[in-house]
Chains A and B, each alone.
Chain A
Amino acid sequence: MTLRSPWHGITDEAVLEQFLGGDERAFVELMRRYKQPIITCVYRFLGSYDDACYVSQETFVRLYRFAGTYQGEVKFSTWLYTIAGNLARTELKKYRRKYGTSLQQAFGIGEDAETWDIPDESYRPDEQVDSTKITQEVQKALMRVSPSYREMVILRDLQQLSYEEISAITETELGTVKSRINRGRAQMQDMLRELYDELFGTSSP
C-alpha cells in the first residue's frame, strides 16, 4: 500500500493559492512538481549542470518572492517556465559577455537577425548526464543552434509544450515560434549529418 500525497489531485493553481495563504508546505509541493522539468529544460539550454542548478534554484526563489504577482492569465507551469527562461537567457548573456560576442553586437544588425549570433562551440558533453553517444551528439548539436531557436526546440520537442504556451513563455508571435522551431530543427539536422549517415546509410537525402 502506498501513501498518497495530501496534494494528490490538487491543481498547481490551487496549491499556489494555499501557499499564498501562508502554507509553506504548498511551496515545497510546487518545487517537488517542477524541479525536475525545470532543471532538465535549463540544462538542455545552457549545457552546464552547475549553471542549470543555480538557475533552477533561482527560479524557485523568485516563485517564493513573487508568487503574489501571478495573475492567472496563463497556466502556472507556463508562468514558471517564463521565469526560468528569462533567468536562463540572462545567464547565457552573462556568459557571452564574458567569453564572446554575437554578430548582432558586432555588426549592429536588426532584431530579426538576432538568432544568427555565433553558436557556442565550446560545449563539451556532460557524460554523467548524457551517457549514450546519441544523446551526447544531440546535446552538442543543441548547443550549437542559435539560442532563440534552441529554447523553442527544447520547449517543443523535449518539454512537449504547445505552440501557444511557447509563444506565451517566450513572448513571441505564434508564427515566429513555428518558424524558429523549424529553423532550429533544420540546423540540428545539418549538424547531426554523421549520425543520420550511420542510421540511414550515406545515400540518404
Chain B
Amino acid sequence: MAPNFPIEPPEDFERNTILRAWVSTMPQVSVPNGFEESVLLRVHRTVMPLWQKLTIAAIGCSVILTLGYFFLFPRPEIVTVVRVPELTSQTVDLYNLPPASVHEMPELSGKPKTQTVSTVKPQKRHGVAGY
C-alpha cells in the first residue's frame, strides 16, 4: 500500500542517478591482440613440470644439509706443512755438525780398515765460554 504523504527523494538524487548512469555506460576497454596467447605463453613459462620442481628441491635440500653439517660440526683446524728447502752448505752450522758416518767398503775388505774422517776442519768457537 502506497503511503498517502509524498516521499521526498534525497537531495542529490538526480546527481547520483546521472553519475551512476555515466559510470555504468563507460566504454569497455578493448583487449589487446594476442592477449590469450601471451597468457598461455606466460603460464607455460612459469609453470614447471613436477620433475623439475623435484630436482630443484633435491639440490636445494642437499646444499642446505651440507651447509648445515659444516655449520654444526666445524672441522678442526688443518695444520699445513710447508716444505722448507734443505739447508745448503753455506748455512750449515759448522759448530754442531754430526759425526760423519763410517762406511765399510767391500772391495777393500781384505785390506786393513781405514777410518774415514770428515774433511771439515773444526774451528774454534769464538766467544763461547770454555774455549
Contact = CB atoms under 8 A, between A and B. Distances in A.
Given A36-B31, A39-B31, A53-B32, A60 B26 contact: no
Contact of A31 (B11, B23, B39, B47): B39
Interface in B58-83: none
B26 A64 contact: no
Interface in A151-205: 153-154, 157-158, 160, 185-186, 188-189, 192, 196, 199-200, 204-205
Nearest to B12: A189
B18 A157 contact: no
B14 interface: yes
A40 B39 contact: no
A49 B15 contact: no
A57 B42 contact: yes
A138 B19 CA distance: 8
A200 B29 contact: no
A146 interface: no
B11 A135 contact: no
Contact of A186 (B12, B14, B28, B30): B12
Interface residues of A, number: 42
A52 interface: yes
B46 A157 contact: no
Nearest to A142: B23
B36 interface: yes
Contacts of A40: 28-29
B48 to A, nearest CB: 10
Given A35-B31, A205-B12, A185 B39 contact: no
B43 A43 contact: no
A129 interface: yes
Contact of B47 (A43, A64, A160): A64
Contact of A157 (B11, B20, B28): B20
B24 interface: yes
A65 B46 contact: yes
Interface in A60-76: 60-61, 64-65
Given A129-B29, A189-B16, A157 B36 contact: no
Given A28-B36, A65-B47, A130 B26 contact: yes
Given A61-B39, A64-B43, A189 B24 contact: no
Nearest to B15: A189
Given A57-B39, A185-B16, A200-B14, A153 B28 contact: no
B35 interface: yes
Contact of B35 (A35, A43, A49, A185): A35
A158 B28 CA distance: 10
Nearest to A39: B29
Contacts of A157: 19-20, 23-24
A33 B19 CA distance: 27
A53 B30 CA distance: 10
Contact of B36 (A32, A160, A199, A205): A32
10 contacts: A35-B35, A39-B35, A44-B29, A61-B46, A65-B43, A65-B46, A129-B30, A135-B22, A138-B22, A158-B24
